[in-house]
Structure 1
Amino acid sequence: MRKRYGCPGSVHAPVTAALPPQPLPKSNASADLLAMLLVVKFIDGLPLARFEYVLGRHGVTVPRQTLARWVIGAAGVLQPLLNLMRDALLEGAFLHVDETVVQVLKELGKAPTSNSYMWVQTGGPPGRPVVVFDYDASCGGQVPVRLLHDYRGYVMTDGYSGYNELMRTDGIEQLVCWAHVRRRFVDAVKVQPKGKRGLADEAVAMIGKLYGVERDHKDADEATRLLARQTHGVPTLAALRTWLDKTLPGVTPKSALGTALSYLRDCWPRLTRYTERGDLPIDNNRAENTIRPFVVGRKAWLFSDTVAGANASAVIYSVLETAKANGVEPYTWLRRVLRDLPSATTVEDVEALLPWNVKDLHTPDLTSDLPN
């Protein structure tokens, strides 16, 4: 809305108020429309083609190619915000890393049917959780090195060898996920004779005791949790290691149980490191839960057309998932960001829009009015 003033005596020409800074200048996309577009695609998993049909039903014709340009343009607007989020991510004492495949049709030097990768890192200081997605055509070891070359602390991963190069960096300590170990033994249980208890069941039971310690002290302070780990977790780990050394030589290496045992043996020092402190995680479930919205959305929109689109997706997933992690309602927050960010002139202006600095946009409790 731009006010226009005219001279009653027609002495002066009409004067129109200046247009406020827009997220996408010379575009028909307002901040509010862009916020809705990004949320329905990246939170609700609605492909751009379907959003085009939704607009068409209301008499608004916007080709999906235009919608795609708006998404890429909006990602550029949000980049300064993501830069500050990434700085906060690296301030945490530990972080989680994971990756998943994504198909990009127009990736230079790669077939349209080949896999590229979306990497996710999550962590941040207490009270300021951060989620950062990064697109890369490769899943090689150079990618985590590039993403985390400035980080020093504990890094939780699965047992993928692509992280080995990163772990050679001074100041980085690797933690390996116990949930991945447990899944391998659960798979071994499934191939046992039905109704019979075997060696894999024993491993699952001992790993369950480790998780029992974590469950019982989930809400405890770090000192209390560390004491519980040292008192109960470390003896369980010692018993599990004794069982592993006794069991491994008598199991066929290529069997389901054999591969599970070998994985446990190879990762052992990195699996037990979480007991050194009370704040370290036991598994990588936080990263897996964080990457799940991307995986669910991928089932709907299937692929990215261009590298620019994949990079834009990484930016937008990052800021929206970080907002969710901080308990902020994504659409309301993003609408404010896209209204205010174009006029931000200082770092302080951008910092004021970070989710943990916005106090009045928390997600409502939708279950509060439900009957008991």
Structure 2
Amino acid sequence: MLFVAHLPPEVSPERYDTSLKVILAMAHYHLGLPFNRLESFQQMLGQPLPDATQWELVEQVADVGYVVFNHLQGYAAQLEVVFQDDTRARVLSLIKENQAEPPPARQAIYTTALRCEGARSVCLFFTGRQHAGENLDDLMALRQPGLPRMLRMADALAANTLKRHGDRVVNLNCLTHARRQFVDIQAFFPGECDQVIAAIATVYQQEAQCVEAELNPAQRLAHHQAHSAPVMASLKRWMQQQFDEKQVEPNSRLGQAFNYMLKRWAALTGFLRIPGAPLDNNPVEQVLKLSVRYRNNSLFYKTLHGAYVGDVIASLIETCRLNGVNPIDYLSALLHNRSAVFADPAAWLPWTFESALTPNAQAPPLGDTPPVSGHAGVLGVAVP
């Protein structure tokens, strides 16, 4: 006669605890730790966790997170400001396509970051052959008719330009990128470059005062019009005068730097006309460091599906960070309440999920599930 030993009620039927899945997702997609490095770490702890198993576990996080990721795109499309930029990406399946005969028309691979600001902050990552302008075009297709034009901050690359919804955005260019034109040639034209850099520094000093005084958009606009506008107007007159008096060769590096600013003057000085217009694209470049860190450490995605899983998880983690939400608690709540998330993703956004939790639908705090084996898992998290 055979007797089956049933698990005690306090032991989860899941082989791997939710906390392990979430910490793996954080370690791989936020810290950029490769799966094989985590496998080696687990082996040293005496609790083997093959890289293939790690992939299956983080895929489960994305399998519920993608519902929120899709909803966040619709939410982000209604916000007031968007920052956009690209960085290079590696996807092995696409690299293999590039080696085929004939090769695809577009061979470049990008990760785009879109950081949307308004009542809340949303960060979205997209990896594939589309560049930032095309990804933002797709996002703008979700924007409700009748809303004011979204403020679009980007550098002046053609890849950032919208083709289908350009009339629905106000194009702004990055003042930091303009400044960089002069920093790069400062050793060759110190006097002229110092004058431009000093003028831009004055603008940033005024911006710092606005931040310190916690001015609202209208007050900030008035402050810049009073203190920054004269500085920028004087700078524009001086640069134009250099050309008029033939003090600068238009095709020289200094002339090209002057032309960069003069041709984009309206887009570079939107903060002098539009309430809430940002000065630069630094906010999205800061979040793009997440993708750069992943590329430098984990090197590549194997397939587009793997890249999509990374985009989903990285977007949720970064959106949590921008809104002061603990991403471990948030991703754990999504995994523990899968059916509720699919039924109403709007209730499970990083800033709404706590109110959606009920006594019957609350994720246990990280580490509350007692380990069966007694061994430590990834970064010290217990593995049942």
- TM-score over 0.5 for the alignment? yes
Evaluate the alpha carbon distance shift between residue 15 and residue 300 of structure 1 in structure 2; reply closer, same or farther with a 3 A threshold.
closer
Of 266, 271, 279, the match for 1:282: 279
**Is the 2:126–2:135 Cα contact (8 Å) retained in structure 1?**
no
Number of the residue aligned with 1:35: 22
Write the letter of the residue equivalent to 2:206: V
Structure 1 residue aligned with 2:229: 234
**Structure 2 gap ranges (5+):** 1-5, 101-106, 144-148, 356-362, 364-384
Matched residue, 2:131: 139
Report the RMSD for the aligned CA atoms in angstroms: 3.0
Map 1:238-277 onto structure 2 (within 5 A): 238-248=233-243, 249-277=246-274
Alpha carbons of structure 1 residues 344 and 209: separation in structure 2 relative to 1, 3 Å: closer
Indicate if the aligned counterparts of 1:96 and 1:286 stay in contact, CA closer than 8 A. yes
Q: Is the 8 A contact 1:103 1:115 kept in 2?
A: no
Asked which structure has the greater RCO (Cα within 8 Å, sep 6+), the reply is 2
Structure 2: which amino acid aligns with 1:49? N
Task: State which of 76, 79, 86 in structure 2 corresponds to 1:99.
Answer: 86
What SS class does the counterpart of residue 152 from structure 2 fall into?
A: strand
**Aligned twin of 1:204:** 197
Distance of 1:176 and 1:55 partners within structure 2: 47
Distance 1:257 1:121, change over 3 A: same
Name the SS of the counterpart of 1:170 in structure 2: helix
Matched, 1:222 2:213: no
- Over 3 Å counting, the alpha-carbon distance change for 1:295 and 1:56 in structure 2 is same
Structure 2-normalised TM-score?
A: 0.79
* Stretch of structure 1 that moved more, 144-153 or 34-43: 144-153
Q: CA deviation at 1:16?
A: 9.8
Q: Structure 1 runs of 4+ off > 4 angstroms? A: 14-17, 358-361
CA spacing shift, 1:79–1:345, aligned 2, 3 Å: closer
Distance 2:313 2:208 in 1: 33
For the residues of structure 1 that align with 2:321 and 2:275, how far apart are their CA atoms? 26
Distance change >3 Å, CA 191–CA 167, structure 1 → 2: farther
Deviation at 1:140, TM superposition (A): 7.5
Secondary structure of the residue that 2:263 maps to in structure 1? helix
Aligned residues with identical type, % of pairs: 26
2:325 match: 328
Q: TM-score, normalised by structure 1?
A: 0.81
| Counterparts in 2 of 1:298 and 1:190: CA distance versus 1, 3 Å | farther
Output one character per residue of 1:215-245: Cα deviation in whole Å (capped at 9) or x when no partner. 1111212221111122122222211211121
* Structure 1 unaligned residues grouped into runs of 5+: 1-13, 362-372
Give the length in aligned residue pairs: 337
Match 1:64 to one of 26, 41, 51: 51
Shift of 1:97: 0.7
1:77·1:342 contact (CA, 8 Å) conserved in 2? no
Structure 2 partner of 1:116: 109
Give distance in 1, aligned partners of 2:299 and 2:98: 17
